[in-house]
Structure 1
Amino acid sequence: MKAAVIVFPGSNCDRDVAVALEASMGAKPLMVWHRDTELPQVDLIAVPGGFSYGDYLRCGAMAAHSPIMREVKARAEAGVRVLGICNGFQVLTEAGLLPGVLMRNSGLKFICRDVHLRVEDSETDFCRQYQCGEVVRFPIAHAEGNFFADDETFRAIEGNGQVAFRYCTPDGGFDPAANPNGSLGNVAGIYNEKRNVLGLMPHPERLAEDLLGGSDGKRMFDSLVEALS
């Protein structure tokens, strides 16, 4: 398996994703600068978290128009797997690769803590090592993670089974207190219709080894290696 991590000015999780990928792949991913216009042949493209372009204008809005994103969009349309984490999720929605938008958290504050997520669809290359309905723990660190879509779009997302993860209680239930940012339908991550693009606000790479306090996130990277190697 070959992977590339896109690096924007302001990214702060690009190296974290690279470390997690290397631990699962056994090889370093390529680090691709946002001004590049070409991508080598890879099986996975990771769009990392951080504050691309300082979050000026709107989170992910400027990064979505970086030169490299034209190639990312073309590869996604050709079926290459694309993983967007936190700011990367915002970039993918701004680029039109995923539906909906990420707005300010309902409490209007930056939130940094672990959350529980229920796996809604495990039959994809990203989540094949999870079980549908399983509860996992990932960290979040964002101020604009409130997922929203208009009624028609959200009905389509739900109807197509595009929800990947939902915020939940430790026992898998849904409670307003378990939804850290007010996301519609407790959505924490979604797929595109073809299931080759995943965007999620929580950070699997920040809980990908026991030394970090848990390894629930590692199975996402292991899933990709299993599927794409």
Structure 2
Amino acid sequence: MKSSVITFPGSNCDRDMDVALKKFGFNNKMVWHNDNELPKSDLVVLPGGFSYGDYLRCGSMASKSKIMQSVINFAKSGGLVMGICNGFQILVETGLVPGVLLRNKYLEFICKNVFVKLDNKKNSYFQNLEKDVLELHIAHNEGNYFCTKDQLKEIEDNNQIAIYYCNKEGQVEDQFNPNGSIKNIAGIFNKNKNVLGMMPHPERMIDESLSGEDGSLFFKNLINNIK
């Protein structure tokens, strides 16, 4: 399976994602933001970080990079595109997924492990994943997902919510919401479920001895689903 990770000026999780993808069997290539064309890929990843220093608005400048037109075309053709943290911010700026990401509720940078509950397994990312609750890591200042009431209704009607913030037992309540996201939303899909944006970092949880293994479960499942 072939994957591509896009590197923008300010990306800081691109190499972590490269390590994770290769560890679980992907033949990964790093793609510079100023390139015009994607290499042949089964999966494209927009990694975390601070693209363009979060200047103007998180992800706004990166969404205009040369490579993004190829990413958009790839997504619209049905290709799998995953945006993690800043990558999620870039996805909303391109319009590939609905909504916006605002400053965290308490205006503080958050860096900690969280639990997320899978809401939709009928997709290439989570299908056949045995666990319903994963422990992953977040590190963001603008992870507060927001959308209009009409958008929220459409998202819910189309089963586009991918994951919710929850506790270890899978309870989705406001007290387990780290950043103020509407309805505890931690990640969403586009309508066709081939584009996934989420704030938690699975690539930071791929070694049981160093961090945790729930990210490993995610990547193992993902590559098996798209073989």
Report the TM-score when normalising by structure 1. 0.96
1:228 aligns with 2:190: no
Alignment of 1:203-214 (within 5 A): 203-214=201-212
Distance 1:170 1:224 in 2: 23
- Which stretches of structure 1, 4 residues or more, deviate above 4 A after TM superposition? none
Alignment of 1:61-100 (within 5 A): 61-100=60-99
Q: Which amino acid aligns with 1:3?
A: S
Distance 1:207 1:194 in 2: 27
Over the matched positions of the two proteins, sequence identity in percent amounts to 49
Q: CA RMSD in A?
A: 1.1
Deviations 1:112-143 (A, max 9, x none): 000011111122111124247x1110010001
Distance 2:188 2:130 in 1: 16
- Does the aligned pair in 2 maintain the 1:48–1:88 contact within 8 Å? yes
1:141 aligns with 2:139: yes
Q: 2:155 aligns with which of 149, 154, 157?
A: 157
Question: Which region of structure 1 is more displaced relative to structure 2, 2-11 or 213-222?
Answer: 213-222
1:116 aligns with 2:110: no
Distance 2:39 2:27 in 1: 14
Alignment of 1:1-229 (within 5 A): 1-25=1-25, 27-131=26-130, 134-229=132-227
- Does the aligned pair in 2 maintain the 1:10–1:54 contact within 8 Å? yes
Q: Which amino acid aligns with 1:20?
A: A
**Residue 213 of structure 1: how far off its partner (Å):** 2.3
Q: Which amino acid aligns with 2:166?
A: C
Total equivalences in the alignment = 227
Question: Does the residue aligned with 2:92 lie in a helix, a strand or coil?
Answer: helix
- Does the aligned pair in 2 maintain the 1:112–1:142 contact within 8 Å? yes
Distance 1:5 1:206 in 2: 15
Q: Which amino acid aligns with 2:120?
A: D
Question: Which region of structure 1 is more displaced relative to structure 2, 120-129 or 55-64?
Answer: 120-129
**Residue 78 of structure 1: how far off its partner (Å):** 0.4
Instruction: Return closer, same or farther for 1:129/1:17 CA change in 2, 3 Å cut-off.
Output: farther
